[in-house]
Structures are given as structure tokens and as C-alpha cells.
Amino acid sequence: MDINLQKEEFSYAYIYAITTAAGYSFQKSSRILDVGGIDATITGTVTDDTLYEPQLDLQVKSTSLDILSGETIRYPLKIKNYNELRKERTVAPRILVVVLIPENLQEWIKQSETELCLRRCAYWVSLRGQPQTQNTETVTVYIPCKNVFTVDALKNLMQTIQTGGKL
């Protein structure tokens, strides 16, 4: 398997694990949605005090490049993806999730009889409402290191969506 495809699949597995532990449903997108900038969708369930199930669309990227800089992650995002993520009006909120993966494939997973550890970390950011750029190929997106994609972070995002808040 091509290393880039391995990184992509590893990223989905990482996000799937977080989503499952948070109690939500994870679905990789069809090719049609993927072309539109949605790689995966996370959904919740309707509760007594809500009218609809919360839904969060993801653009998923993975890299083993050194993109950490102080308190931020600098990720070069293609203009097409940037423009899709900065849209104000979408059916469901969209976020960018960047999964950092060790350079060495043998370091991606640590496994024993008592644990399965997926190495490095995922970070998220909402680009909704960001300004148009004059760049023609990529734009550097800055993701705060505090935006770790964790079970609690996902629950907070979904709660915000469910109560009508904006990301």
C-alpha cells in the first residue's frame, strides 16, 4: 500500500477511535462528498430536548512533517480545501482535522496485551468565516495546540452543534 494511503487510513482509524469512545457514529464519505471537501461525517442521536441529530463534517489531513511551531500547528492547506472550509453557510458545520503521525511507520502503533496506542495526535480547527486569500495554491492554516481532537473536545463540539451554537 502507498505510504500516503496508509497515512490517510491511519487518520480515519484514529478519528474513528475517538468518535466511538465519545459515543457517536463515524462514516467515511463517498467520493462525491469527498470531492466537495467532506472526508468524513460524525453524527449523534436526537435527545428529548433537541429537534435533530448533531452532525459534524470533517476535512481530514495527515502529515509526518514537523509542523509544530510554539503553541500552533502550521499546516499548508490547498486553496480548494480552504475555500470549502471557510464557507459561512453549510448544512452541517465543517472542521479541519490534522493528524500528526511519526515519520517512521514502525512508531505509529504500540501494542501489547493490555493496550493499543495510536501514536501522535490529532488537532482541529474551524475555518468558518475566514477571509478570502489571494494565494493561488496553498494557504498556511494555524491550529492552536490546545485544540487537541479528544473525546471531550468532540463531545463539546457536538453539544455546541446540538444547541445551535456556531463553531
Is the pLDDT at 35 greater than 80? The verdict is no
The percent of residues in the chain predicted with pLDDT above 90, rounded, is 78
Q: Write the burial class of residue 75 (CB in 10 Å: 0-12 exposed, 13-18 middle, 19+ buried).
A: buried
Residue 78: per-residue pLDDT: 96
Q: Is pTM beyond 0.95 here?
A: no
What are the tens digits of pLDDT across the range 122-154? Answer: 999 999 999 999 999 999 999 999 999 999 999
> Mean pLDDT across the chain, nearest whole number?
92
* Residue pointed to by grid coordinates 462525491: 32
Is the pLDDT at 22 greater than 80? The verdict is yes
Is the pLDDT at 52 greater than 70? The verdict is yes
